[in-house]
Homo-oligomer: A and B are copies of this chain.
């Protein structure tokens, strides 16, 4: 994603993009090595040789730079959703868009972007202020996803709650599945796919107020 910039823009734009990338990379490296709270903005900007003031021209704050990479995946997801076949049911479109993004990773037991992704995820989960900011980003992403589902289905999201419900259901299942999967230390995308499918099966069973598949309702 980052290597597609600058092909047809000026030096000024290219320098800005390089500064932004350098800040995001330096921040991530420091956060993963020292922890979020123990890393200061002064340390990040020193690593890139720009001023604090410049930092705040690229990022609204310390949290935003920490979540910068995760937000790139959100863009990937929205693009994937927008290009799903128009006649696909909403939940199917969401699930398949998610699978597309996941396939961007390879199985990379101890290297590459997948490993870094897992390490950043653990950092975020373990840092309350980042977890909070990440959740708020997720809410905003849900709103945009719901708008896309509403567009695909030709309904008004302000009047019809089904887009919002489908998106929040999708995120709920994904979050429970990813919490379960991330207990391992390995970027095993096939394993995640299996957990996700099983979680959807459990959810369908549960929504009919049953606890196991095959059980009759009992209230």
**Chain A interface residues toward B at CB < 8 A:** 87-92, 128-129, 131-133, 135-136, 139, 153, 161-162, 164-166, 168-169, 171-173, 175-177, 179-180, 198-199, 202-204, 206-211, 217-219
User: Is A211 in contact with B165, judged by CB distance below 8 angstroms?
Assistant: no
* Pick from B165, B180, B210: contact of A203, CB under 8 Å: B165
Copy number in the complex reads: 2
User: Is B172 in contact with A165, judged by CB distance below 8 angstroms?
Assistant: yes
Q: How far is the CA of A218 from the CA of B86 in the complex (A)?
A: 12
Q: How far is the CA of A137 from the CA of B176 in the complex (A)?
A: 17
Contacts of A171 in B (CB 8 A): 172
User: Is A92 in contact with B209, judged by CB distance below 8 angstroms?
Assistant: yes
**Known interface pairs A91-B206, A168-B175, A207-B207. Does A161 touch B136 (Cβ–Cβ under 8 Å)?**
no
Which of A87, A131, A168, A204 counts the most chain B CB atoms within 10 A?
Answer: A168
**Known interface pairs A136-B131, A136-B135, A162-B211. Does A219 touch B89 (Cβ–Cβ under 8 Å)?**
yes
